[in-house]
Amino acid sequence: MNRKKTFVIMVAACGGLLFSGAIRVLADADDKAAEDQVATEVTVQTGRITSTTLHGYLQGYGTIETAPASAGLPAAGAQLAAPSAGVVTEVHALEGQAVKKGDVLLELNSGTTTAESAAQEVARQKQLFAQQNTSLKNLQAAEAQLALLQVLAPLSGTVARVNAKPGQAVDSTTIVAEVMDLDRLAVSAEIPAAEAKDLKTGNPLEVLAQPPVTTALSFVSPSVDKNNDTVLVRALLPAGSGLRPGQFVSLRIVTAVHTNCLTAPAESVVTDERGKSTIALVQGDEALQTPVQTGLCENGLVEVTAPELKAGDAVVTVGAYGLPAKTKIKIQNPPGEGNLPTHSGDAK
C-alpha cells in the first residue's frame, strides 16, 4: 500500500471516530436537556400568613418583697427593734398571727420601772388631765415612759418573726419582731442597663408563677448601679397574688406591641449566615423564595414584611430549609392545617 493510500484510510478512520463522538455528545446534551425539563418535586407542608398582634418582651428574674412606702401609705414591712435596753417580760405575738396597727407585741422591764406600772401611770395621768388636775406635759412624759417599754405593731399585717422570749435581755439594736402586710407586695428586678433604655413606668409586667400574675412597672430607677451595671425596676402586685416575700421568680416586661402585623409560622422563616431571611411563598405548584424583613416573635409566629405579602398567603413550613429559588412542590397538607398556632396570646 502506498503512502498516499494509507493517509486516505487514516483520515477516513479519524473522521469516523469524530463523527461518532459528535453523535455521543449530542445525545448526552439531549439527555441533559430532557432531564432539565423534568423538574424535581419536593414534598412539603404549609401554613398561612396571618394578621395578628405580637408583643416584644424583656425577660428577667426578680424577688418578691414587701411594698415600699408610697404616697399616703407606709412601708408594708417593718423589722422592730427594742425601744430601749431592758428585759423582755411578755410576748403577746405569735408568728403568723394577724395584728392591727398599735397592738402590743412585746413588753419590757427597765432598771427603774415595768411596762405594767408605766401603763398604770399613763391611765392615772389621763384621768387627772381630764379633771384638769395635771398638766399635758406630765401626761406626755408618762406616755413617753410607756413607749420605751412596749413594742407596738407599726402597721396592720401578719407577724412574720418573733426573735425574743421572756427573760431575754435586749437593747435598741436587737430586732425583736417583724410584721408584714402580705396584701401589699412588690416584685423588684435588676435589669442590665443596655436592655433597660426603653423601660418606663406603666410597662406591663408578668410574673411567670402558677398562676401568672399581671401588673405594671411602678418604678424605674433613673440611675445605674455601678457595681453590676444594672437598673432597678419594681412593680406593685395585686392583693391575693399567692406570692411570698423572699420568693425568686421569673418575669417578663412588655416592651413593644405591634397590632395587625403580618406573621408567618416560625418554621417557615429561613435565615442565612448573613442574617438575610426568606420564606417560600406557595404559588400554584411552586414555591418561590421571597425575601422578608422579620420583627417580633411570639407563640411560634414571626412578624414578616414584604411588599407582595398579604394575609392568607400559603407558605412552606416543613421542608422550607434548603429549597432552591423556584421549586416544584407537592403539598402534603392543605394550607393552614397542622402548622399554625391555635391562638396568638402571650408567648410561653
Q: What is the pLDDT of residues 146-155, one digit of tens each?
A: 999 999 999 9
Quote the mean pLDDT of the chain. 86
15 has pLDDT over 60: no
pLDDT band at residue 341 using 50, 70 and 90 as cut-offs: very low
Tell me what the mean pLDDT of segment 237-248 comes to: 95
In the numeric block, the cell 493517509 is attached to 7
User: Are residues 89 and 170 located together in one domain of the fold?
Assistant: yes
Q: What pLDDT was estimated at residue 90?
A: 95
Q: pLDDT tens for residues 75-90?
A: 999 999 999 999 999 9
Considering the domain boundaries, does residue 102 fall inside one?
Answer: yes
Give, in degrees to the nearest 5, the angle at Cα 150 between 77 and 175: 45
Q: Would strands 230-236 and 301-305 be described as parallel, antiparallel, or unpaired?
A: unpaired
- Residue 62: which pLDDT band, with cuts at 50, 70 and 90? very high
Q: In this structure, are 142 and 214 located in the same domain? A: no
Last residue in a domain, options 236, 256, 276: 256
Residue 299 belongs to some domain of the structure = yes
Give the per-residue pLDDT at 30. 53
Check pLDDT > 60 for residue 11: no
Identify the residue with better confidence: 319 or 258.
258
Q: Could you tell me what percent of the chain has a pLDDT over 70?
A: 84
343 falls within a domain: no
Residue 153, pLDDT score: 96
Q: What is the CATH number of the domain that holds 48?
A: 2.40.420.20
Rounded CA separation 268/279 (Å): 6
Residue 204 CB: number of other CB atoms within 10 A? 17
According to the model, what pLDDT value does residue 345 have? 41
Is residue 28 in a domain? no
- The mean-pLDDT minimum among 24-28, 117-121, 202-206 falls in 24-28
At 326 the pLDDT is 83
Q: Predicted confidence band at 39 (pLDDT cuts at 50, 70, 90)?
A: low
Least confident of 220-229, 232-241, 268-277: 268-277
Q: Is 336 inside any structural domain? A: no
- Is there a single domain that holds both residue 267 and residue 296? yes
Position 93 scores a pLDDT of 93
Taking each continuous run of H as one helix and of E as one strand, the counts in the chain are: 3, 23
| Per-residue model confidence (pLDDT) at position 320 | 86
Select from 175, 187, 178 the least CA-distant residue to 215. 187
Name, in order, each residue with C-beta under 8 angstroms of 240's C-beta and a sequence gap of 6 or more.
Answer: 183
- Predicted local confidence at residue 6, as pLDDT: 44
- How many domains are there within the chain? 3
Quote the pLDDT of residue 128: 95
Q: Which residue matches cell numbers 396584701?
A: 183
Q: What is the pLDDT of residue 219?
A: 96
Please give the average per-residue pLDDT across 273-291, as a whole number: 91
Q: How confident is the model at residue 280 (pLDDT cuts 50, 70, 90)?
A: very high
- Confidence label for 334 from pLDDT (cuts 50, 70 and 90): low
Q: What pLDDT is stored for residue 28 in this prediction?
A: 53
CB neighbours of 291 closer than 8 A, spacing ≥ 6?
Answer: 276, 277, 278, 306
Query: Is residue 239 assigned to a domain?
Result: yes
Q: How far apart are CA 181 and CA 203, in angstroms?
A: 25
pLDDT of residue 72: 82
pLDDT higher than 70, residue 29: no
Give just the sign of the alpha carbon dihedral 32, 35, 37, 43: negative
Residue 116 lies in a domain: yes
**pLDDT value of position 73:** 87
> 189-221 pLDDT, tens per residue?
999 999 998 899 999 999 999 999 999 999 999
187 and 111 together in one domain: no
Q: Give the model's pLDDT for residue 56.
A: 94
Domain limit, last residue, from 144, 160, 180: 180
Is residue 339 one of the residues assigned to a domain? no
Do 283 and 209 fall into the same domain? no
**φ/ψ (deg, to 5) at 266:** -55, -35
Per the structure, the complete domain to which residue 286 belongs is given by 41-55+258-331
Residues 262 and 319 in one domain: yes
